[in-house]
Amino acid sequence: MKKLIAGAILLGASSMAFAQPGCGVGAMIWKGQSGIAPHVLAATTNGTFGNQTFGMTTGTLGCQTNQSVQSMAMYMDSNIDKVARDMSRGSGENLDTLAVLLGVDEADRDAFRKVLQDNFATIFPSSDTTSGEAVDAIVALLEQNESLSKYVAA
Amino acid sequence: MGNMLRIGPVLIWLAVSLPTQADTSPDTSELHLDPAWLTLIHYQPDTFGDGYTSQADDPAFFLSENGKQSPKAELEATLTAIRKPGKGDDHARCQFPARTTWLQQELNLSLPEISCPGYQEWSETLNTETVTLVFAASYLNSPSSMFGHTFLRLDPPQDDNETNLLLANTISYAADAAAHDSELLFAYKGIFGGYPGITTVQPYYEKIRLYSDIEHRDLWEYKLNLTQEEVDLMIAHAWEIRDRNFDYYFFDENCAYRLLALIDIARPGTDLLGEVSTHAIPSDTVRWVVDKNLVSEVHYRPSAATSVAYSLSTLPDEQQTLAAAIANGYVDADADEVSTLSAKQRAHVLDATYDYVRYKSEADGWPREIAAPLSHDLLRERSQINNVSPPEGPPEPVVRDDQGHDTFRLSLGAGQQAHREFTQLTLRPAYHDVLDPPAGYRTGAQLQFLRLDARLYTDNNELQLEQLTGVEIRSLSPRNAFFSPLSWQGGVGGRRTDTGNDRVLTPYLEGGAGGSWSLGHQTQAFAIATADLEIDDDLRRGYDAAPGADIGLLHQNNRFSLLAGAKTKAWIVSSQHRQDQLYAKANWHIGREFSLFAEFTREDHYDRYQSLWQAGLHAYF
């Protein structure tokens, strides 16, 4: 199932084409000049995106071996403002989407939301935080959490 | 994980391979005229003659050289191709799974098993259980978006907590316009053809980002009641046309049209395309889909702009002022004025302010140096308030866009102009003016196309073309402490103009810009600076131009609409006379099918006073 979701997300990046699953996908997507942005721009009709509060990934994420973390990273990259908003509120559909992408069980969702809200300032230390840095911080936080570490295990 | 077991249409057509007389050729003499076949290959009857032509503009879509014009040749070529030995993605059965499924069912064909890895992976990844038609409504200050836009969302099975509709895929059909084409070329090619139309698949969250966040358009989600088998056939056909070119035309063969074709294919006999005459306005196509009982559920997703306007409006007055002060940098997010509020109030002020800053960044291009640190402060403060859920979102409008009045209007009236009596017939193919019943349309928005006003003067039985409106756009959107949109208008066409001793038909171009302010719930006052240009050899210098002003009131409710005000135009080139008007126009709405209308204008032009009055009935189809 997770594999399918990852595939579904990647589908957006290249219109009708499918990327191959696995580490190579992440590498391929991140390799672009400024991450996913050119793909996203090419896929919309008006081609202009507004100012993002937070930066897009700088490509520092590298090759994450966990498929679901990669999916989350891609989602964060195009929805960073909304994810940050939901995180600060401790609820919202974008936070639920992160939970789905990481495969967090229903029973652990409350803990997941609480960890992200309580540690907002750790995940986004400044307004210059990129989505890649935020993903790294989320992974580090979840790894330290007894019930949530299993979702980011490599 | 039940969805892993479902591998889409592949199994369906393998399953229907009944072991019957495999090698005898079935009777196919009339099959090529079956409506389902004609729909599958996108054939339409020729305007002249009794043949058919396919709307597909891509040779690779046809298996026969004569396929574009010959349903029969294409059927025979398809039957031959799918029975050929071979395997893999290049086999006709893998390239045309929907045709294959249909032919197998019609003819009880027995075909050997074949694997199509490409198609199988595609349909597995799309993992579709139900299909939702999504309608992007128009946005208030963007009349060009008024026709709306539609696309299909492919919803995965909703049987476990791992499904999420933001991640669902969507199918849309759009003009592949080159970015460097000018707007004029864009319009020309759009109307007369020249852009290839392409099908794209994107995750729903990308669509939400585009329509809801960037274009400020509410989304209406109409879940279709297609069965799994019908959904699979639609997906199979989407595969057949995925990289195939269908030339794009704004008015008829547009985004909405191609989706109707997909629904027709999924459920043969639906014939939504039969509803299309000269144009397929997306909001009308949604009506047809609703009327054909294809919809099981409707869900409303307000745009970011709708949500922020609503959440600001629900704050008490002093907190609205506080939100504006924070957003404009006069008060910090952690200032005393904020921290003394109760946790719930503080959370709601911070939420609304963040959404507002985000909206301003998108809509008005607030610079990142200001918006980003402010947003970060707001979110950091908000993250320290636990267990306060965000405020309720905007309520779903009582009347949906597809439930508003129909867009074709026929009007019959009688009146008097400068003591000459006339009867008037008006045809307006599309779409809405500010006096029409407002339910389901944006307040203060107007878009009219190809409107024709003809008058028969009863004193001498003279039939006159009074006005031909090519296009007329008007957008009156009120300003307040948070939002300061420009109200504007524009129009082009031909109209009767007074030369002092005659009323001659002259081409005109008009435009204007100004502001509008809300006076209570359904009433606004506006002030617009206008400019008019008329070109005709009956004018003394061949043309005339007039700067002017239009100041008035607009009231719109479901029973009654009123537009009243004063206009002045100073014709400065040829006539050098001022034209002053007082006008009042009112409509009484009788349901959404009819309106009674009345208008009165008193005019001072060429140093004489004249009156126009008219009353009659509008009917909407």
> Do the Cβ atoms of A51 and B174 come within 8 Å?
no
Stretch (H or E) spanning B601: strand B594-605
Stretch 170-229 of chain B: residues touching chain A, C-beta under 8 Å: 174, 177, 179, 199-203, 205-206, 209-210, 213-215
Stretch 360-389 of chain B: residues touching chain A, C-beta under 8 Å: 361-363, 365-368, 371-373, 375-376, 378-380, 382-383, 386-389
Question: For B129-242, where are the E strands, in sequence order?
Answer: 130-136, 149-155, 169-175, 195-203, 219-224
Among residues A105, A137, A107, the alpha carbon closest in space to that of A121 is found at A137
- DSSP-assigned states of every residue in A73-115: HHHHHHHHHHHHHHHHHT--HHHHHHHHHHT--GGGHHHHHHH
Q: What is the pLDDT of residue B610?
A: 94
From the list B243, B361, B379, which residue is nearest A120 (CB)?
A: B379
> Do the Cβ atoms of B201 and A16 come within 8 Å?
yes
B162: contact with A, CB 8 A cutoff: yes
- Residue B537 near residue B507, CB atoms below 8 Å: no
The answer, yes or no, to whether the previous bond of B431 is cis (omega within 30 of 0) is yes
> Do the Cβ atoms of A100 and B163 come within 8 Å?
yes
Q: What is the pLDDT of residue B431?
A: 86
Q: Which whole-number Å values give the CA distances from B326 to B320, B350, B356, in the listed order?
A: 10, 9, 10
Q: Are residues B273 and B139 in the same domain?
A: yes
> Do the Cβ atoms of B361 and A100 come within 8 Å?
no
- CA B518, CA B446: separation in Å to the nearest integer? 17
Q: What is the pLDDT of residue A2?
A: 40
What's the DSSP call for residue B142?
Answer: B
User: What phi and psi, each to the nearest 5 degrees, are found at residue B269?
Assistant: 95, -10
A114: nearest CA in chain B?
Answer: B386
Q: Are residues B375 and B419 in the same domain?
A: no
Residues of A in contact with B368 (CB under 8 A): 51-53
Q: Are residues B94 and B240 in the same domain?
A: no
- CA B77, CA B466: separation in Å to the nearest integer? 56
Q: Is B59 exposed, middle or buried (0-12, 13-18, 19+ CB in 10 A)?
A: exposed
N-term to C-term CA, chain B = 48
Tell me whether residue B391 is in a domain. Answer: no
CA angle B305, B306, B307 (to 5 degrees): 90
Among residues A55, A57, A67, A60, the alpha carbon closest in space to that of A26 is found at A67
Q: Are residues B160 and B287 in the same domain?
A: yes
> Do the Cβ atoms of A18 and B382 come within 8 Å?
no
Residues of B in contact with A11 (CB under 8 A): 125, 169, 201-203
A91: contact with B, CB 8 A cutoff: yes
Q: Are residues B308 and B189 in the same domain?
A: no
> Do the Cβ atoms of A127 and B362 come within 8 Å?
no
How many domains are contained in chain A?
1
How many domains are contained in chain B?
4
Residues of A in contact with B120 (CB under 8 A): none
- CA B202, CA A40: separation in Å to the nearest integer? 10
- Residue B283 near residue B400, CB atoms below 8 Å: no
Task: Give the sheet arrangement for strand B195-203, strand by strand.
Answer: B246-248, B195-203, B169-175, B149-155, B130-136, B219-224, B295-301
Q: Which residues of chain B register pLDDT less than 50? A: 1-23
Q: What is the pLDDT of residue B1?
A: 37
Q: In a 3-state reduction of DSSP, which class is residue B43?
A: strand
Tell me whether residue B199 is in a domain. Answer: yes
Q: Are residues B271 and B166 in the same domain?
A: yes
Q: Are residues B108 and B171 in the same domain?
A: no
Out of B278, B301, B324, a domain closes at: B301
Residues of B in contact with A114 (CB under 8 A): 386
What's the DSSP call for residue A53?
Answer: S
Q: What is the pLDDT of residue B10?
A: 44
> Do the Cβ atoms of B213 and A15 come within 8 Å?
no
What's the DSSP call for residue A151?
Answer: G
> Do the Cβ atoms of A117 and B351 come within 8 Å?
no
CB atoms within 10 A of CB B5: 7
Q: What is the pLDDT of residue B98?
A: 95
From the list B210, B371, B373, which residue is nearest A51 (CB)?
A: B371
User: What phi and psi, each to the nearest 5 degrees, are found at residue B457?
Assistant: -80, 125
| Tokens found for residue B156 | 């995965």
Q: What sign does the CA torsion over B126, B127, B133, B136 have?
A: negative
Q: Which domain holds residue B90?
A: 2-119
Q: What is the pLDDT of residue B226?
A: 96
Out of B94, B119, B144, a domain closes at: B119
Tell me whether residue B257 is in a domain. Answer: yes
Q: Which residues contact B107 (CB under 8 A, 6 or more apart)?
A: B26, B28, B31, B79
Helices and strands (H and E) in chain A: how many: 8, 0
Tell me how close the Cα of A108 comes to any Cα of chain B, in angstroms: 12
- The residue of A11, A51, A52, A102 whose CB has the most chain B CBs within 10 angstroms, and thus the best one to mutate to test that interface, is A51
From the list B122, B166, B366, which residue is nearest A51 (CB)?
A: B366
Q: In a 3-state reduction of DSSP, which class is residue B435?
A: coil
- CA A55, CA A79: separation in Å to the nearest integer? 11
Token match 């006008």: residue?
A: B583
> Do the Cβ atoms of B375 and A90 come within 8 Å?
no
> C-alpha A71: how far from its chain's center?
6
Tell me whether residue B323 is in a domain. Answer: yes
* Confidence grade of residue A18 (pLDDT, cut at 50, 70, 90): very low
Q: Which whole-number Å values give the CA distances from A85 to A78, A117, B171, B357, in the listed order?
A: 14, 10, 28, 12
Among residues B36, B33, B12, the alpha carbon closest in space to that of B270 is found at B36
CB atoms within 10 A of CB B523: 15
Q: What is the CATH number of the domain that holds B575?
A: 2.40.160.40
Residues of A in contact with B383 (CB under 8 A): 87-90, 117-118, 120-121
Q: Which whole-number Å values give the CA distances from A123 to A80, A126, B275, B373, in the listed order?
A: 12, 9, 53, 15
Q: Are residues B50 and B180 in the same domain?
A: no
Q: Are residues B272 and B314 in the same domain?
A: no
Pairing of strands B543-556, B560-570: antiparallel
| pLDDT of residue A15 exceeding 50 | no
| pLDDT of residue A138 exceeding 60 | yes
What dihedral angle (degrees, nearest 10) is formed by the CA atoms of B572, B573, B574, B577? 0
Stretch (H or E) spanning A1: none
Q: Are residues B199 and B278 in the same domain?
A: yes
From the list B125, B351, B389, which residue is nearest A11 (CB)?
A: B125
Stretch (H or E) spanning B325: helix B317-327
What dihedral angle (degrees, nearest 10) is formed by the CA atoms of B137, B141, B147, B153? -30
Q: Which domain holds residue A37?
A: 2-152
Pairing of strands B543-556, B130-136: unpaired
> Do the Cβ atoms of A90 and B387 come within 8 Å?
yes
- CA B395, CA B551: separation in Å to the nearest integer? 33
Out of B383, B417, B439, a domain closes at: B383
A128: contact with B, CB 8 A cutoff: yes
> Do the Cβ atoms of A89 and B351 come within 8 Å?
yes
Q: Which whole-number Å values give the CA distances from B443 to B5, B24, B142, B280, B478, in the listed order?
A: 49, 65, 12, 23, 10
Tell me whether residue B389 is in a domain. Answer: no
From the list B122, B164, B362, which residue is nearest A97 (CB)?
A: B164
A94: contact with B, CB 8 A cutoff: yes
Q: Are residues B251 and B313 in the same domain?
A: no
A105: contact with B, CB 8 A cutoff: yes
Per-residue pLDDT tens over the stretch A51-91: 444 544 433 344 445 778 888 888 888 888 899 999 999 99
Tell me whether residue B125 is in a domain. Answer: no
What's the DSSP call for residue A139?
Answer: H
From the list B179, B203, B387, which residue is nearest A11 (CB)?
A: B203
Q: What sign does the CA torsion over B404, B408, B414, B416 have?
A: positive
A87: contact with B, CB 8 A cutoff: yes
Among residues B511, B603, B522, B506, the alpha carbon closest in space to that of B555 is found at B522
From the list B124, B202, B386, which residue is nearest A117 (CB)?
A: B386
Token match 């409707």: residue?
A: B298
Q: Are residues B287 and B326 in the same domain?
A: no
